[in-house]
Structure 1
Amino acid sequence: MQILLFGITKDIVGQSQLTLPEGETVGNVSQLKTWLCKQYPEFNNLSSLAIAVNSEYADDDTLIDSQSEVALIPPVSGG
């Protein structure tokens, strides 16, 4: 699974892409969010976080497999 990071998520992790360590798996978006918050506690401070799986916005029940491309889309502000 390839995880692409943008904006503040990239700053939190310190790189633009992330992969789960060998032996760790997540089955859906909700599990991925839990894993991210455990590994990078600053994710708990985000007011919202959109996640796309294979270029489509996903809800917490969306399944993720090892071939999925996941993008973390942080909140944005505009004016």
Structure 2
Amino acid sequence: MNKVLFFAHLRDAVGKEFLMLDASGKTVAELKEDLSNTYHLPKMDTVMTAVNEEFAPDVVIIEDGDEIAFIPPVSGG
């Protein structure tokens, strides 16, 4: 199982701070696509991803037990 964390507007769209699901064997890109389709998440292509607290590109393959966090770009001033 994998813990998938959501921040900012993604958390609002999913309605939860995190989900527990089996994403092992998928790439980060595949997980983004699955979640986007299931929860109608906007602009997942601009979201940064961390796997086990390290930023990860879309080609990283998720392993059982990995923690994945999706962090949308932040602007401020």
What TM-score bracket applies, with the shorter chain setting the length?
0.7 to 0.9
Say which SS state the counterpart of residue 32 (structure 2) adopts.
helix
1:47–1:75: 8 Å Cα contact kept in structure 2? no
User: Hey, which bits of structure 1, 4+ residues long, moved more than 6 A?
Assistant: none
Distance 2:37 2:17 in 1: 19
Residue matched to 1:48: 46
Structure 1, unaligned stretches of length 5 or more? none
The two structures have a TM-score, normalised by structure 1, of 0.83
Calculate the aligned-residue CA RMSD, in Å: 1.9
The two structures have a TM-score, normalised by structure 2, of 0.85
Distance 2:64 2:55 in 1: 18
Q: In the alignment, which of 51, 74, 77 is matched to residue 76 of structure 1?
A: 74
Structure 2, unaligned stretches of length 5 or more? none
